[in-house]
């Protein structure tokens, strides 16, 4: 007659000494007592005539009740002709495969294959969008299991912050990633294709601006990394420092710029309001202009057209460069540098509104209702422009991952 084994109790486990070596619970379940103090659950069973042992975890992380439940699950598998150890390996392999084929893993693989064909600034923008707006919500999901509903909910987070064009661009990138997953056998369908017409239509803003300091820093670093024409890059660098209108910037002439006096005097004939404007040049702006002068200083225009020095650069040059860097219509425009400066000079750096408005070449009146002349508050505006340049360069030099 087989010896009956009394079921284990929690009290018996707690009072057991390592010398006991094994505490049996019956039905093939037992607890190995190690000299180190660790208690290991084991389950012995026979499958197709062969004795096998299955690990059930460590006590007390796996309680007595949990171990018994795992034993019964294993016994049911054996009764149904399934080897528990083989089944466990299959589950583990499937889990690892899912983790290895997560949306983030596949997306980064796709990105690595594509980025060599893009401008660095454009590639940086795409991966930042994915890291900020997709990976936190869907990155760990097996790419084959991501649904259109999940993807739309994630994109709507971008829409909710009024970056509709960015949401459309992210959807486009996700569609490319899913198509890559299908081609490499990690997915069978593309849920991004099901979202056609699901996002609000894009209504471009001609004066979209970046106002968040961290995002401004990212924009300035993107400008530093711009790999297009040198003249265009210089215009991009000066646009935030000077915050004049895009037409005023591109039509700048060397005869209007006094590098020694560190100022740019724009004649009224070039100004929207018809009044001349003096733009103080901070050291950072002077550095860019001196470097540019070596290239274009013998000609008329500071930013000559690539098609000939007898005319200025295209009125679309800066906007096109921003798009090339990955900034959408609803994120940043050439005019956006003015809104950026106006907001931060007022709300963060706390300069007087009339100094700011005067430097923006807006209609500003003195207490007697008379328009300020071009030299009014010039010293205060010079200090303001220097402080603004220092602030921008501080933002630029802050790492993306401090």
Return the number of other C-beta atoms located less than 10 Å from residue 274's C-beta.
Answer: 9
Catalytic residue, from 186, 338, 382, 396: name it. Answer: 338
Catalytic residue, from 39, 335, 381, 382: name it. Answer: 335
Element (H, E) at 75: helix 64-79
CA distance 121 to 284: 22
Average of per-residue pLDDT values in the chain: 87
Residue from 18, 63, 22 nearest 44 by CA: 22
**35-65 confidence digits (pLDDT tens):** 877 889 999 998 888 899 988 889 988 999 9
* Catalytic (active site) residue 122: no
Provide φ and ψ at 189, rounded to 5°. Answer: -150, 165
Return the number of other C-beta atoms located less than 10 Å from residue 295's C-beta.
Answer: 12
Taking the alpha carbons of 137, 141, 144, 147 in that order, is the dihedral positive or negative?
negative
* Catalytic (active site) residue 180: no
Domains delineated in the chain: 10-89 (3.30.160.390), 103-195 (1.10.150.130), 213-397 (1.10.443.10)
Taking the alpha carbons of 320, 324, 328, 331 in that order, is the dihedral positive or negative?
negative
Provide φ and ψ at 147, rounded to 5°. Answer: -100, 165
Asked whether the predicted pLDDT for residue 121 surpasses 70, the reply is no
* Catalytic (active site) residue 272: yes
- The encoded tokens of residue 10 equal 């929690």
* Catalytic (active site) residue 68: no
Query: Could you tell me which residue, 325 or 369, shows the higher pLDDT?
Result: 325
* Catalytic (active site) residue 169: no
Peptide bond into 225 cis (omega under 30): no
* Catalytic (active site) residue 393: no
As a whole number, mean pLDDT of residues 114-118 equals 80
CA distance 214 to 400: 8
Asked whether the predicted pLDDT for residue 392 surpasses 90, the reply is yes
User: What is the pTM assigned to this prediction?
Assistant: 0.51
Provide φ and ψ at 305, rounded to 5°. Answer: -70, 145
Residue from 227, 207, 390 nearest 324 by CA: 227
């Amino acid at each position: 007659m087989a010896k009956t084994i009394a079921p284990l109790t929690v009290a018996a486990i707690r009072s057991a000494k390592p010398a006991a070596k094994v505490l049996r619970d019956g039905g093939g379940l037992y607890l190995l007592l190690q000299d180190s103090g660790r208690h290991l659950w084991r389950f012995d069973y026979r499958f197709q005539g062969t004795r096998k042992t299955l690990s059930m975890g460590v006590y007390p992380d796996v309680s007595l009740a949990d171990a018994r439940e795992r034993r019964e699950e294993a016994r049911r598998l054996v009764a149904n002709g399934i080897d528990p150890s083989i089944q466990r390996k299959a589950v583990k392999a499937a889990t690892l495969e899912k983790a290895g084929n997560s949306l983030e893993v596949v997306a980064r693989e796709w990105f690595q294959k594509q980025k060599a064909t893009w401008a660095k600034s454009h590639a940086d923008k795409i991966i930042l969008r994915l890291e900020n707006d997709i990976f936190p919500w869907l990155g760990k999901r097996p790419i084959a299991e991501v649904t259109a509903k999940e993807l739309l909910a994630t994109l709507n987070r971008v829409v909710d912050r009024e970056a509709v064009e960015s949401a459309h661009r992210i959807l486009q990138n996700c569609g490319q990633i899913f198509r890559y997953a299908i081609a490499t056998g990690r997915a069978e369908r593309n849920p991004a294709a099901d979202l056609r017409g699901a996002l609000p239509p894009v209504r471009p803003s001609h004066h979209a601006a970046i106002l968040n300091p961290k995002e401004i820093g990212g924009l300035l670093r993107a400008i530093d990394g711009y790999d297009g024409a040198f003249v265009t890059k210089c215009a991009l660098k000066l646009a935030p420092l000077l915050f004049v209108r895009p037409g005023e910037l591109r039509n700048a002439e060397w005869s209007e710029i006094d590098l020694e006096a560190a100022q740019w005097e724009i004649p009224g004939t070039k100004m929207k309001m018809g009044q001349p404007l003096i733009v103080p040049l901070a050291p950072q702006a002077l550095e860019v202009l001196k470097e540019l002068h070596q290239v274009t200083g013998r000609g008329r225009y500071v930013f000559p057209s690539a098609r000939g020095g007898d005319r200025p650069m295209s009125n679309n040059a800066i906007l096109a460069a921003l798009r090339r860097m990955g900034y959408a219509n609803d994120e940043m425009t050439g005019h956006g540098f003015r809104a950026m400066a106006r907001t931060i000079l007022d709300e963060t750096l706390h300069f007087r509104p009339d100094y700011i408005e005067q430097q923006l070449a807006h209609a500003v009146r003195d207490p007697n209702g008379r328009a300020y002349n071009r030299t009014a508050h010039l010293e205060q505006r010079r200090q303001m422009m220097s402080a603004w340049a220092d602030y921008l360069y501080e933002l630029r030099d802050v790492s993306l991952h401090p």
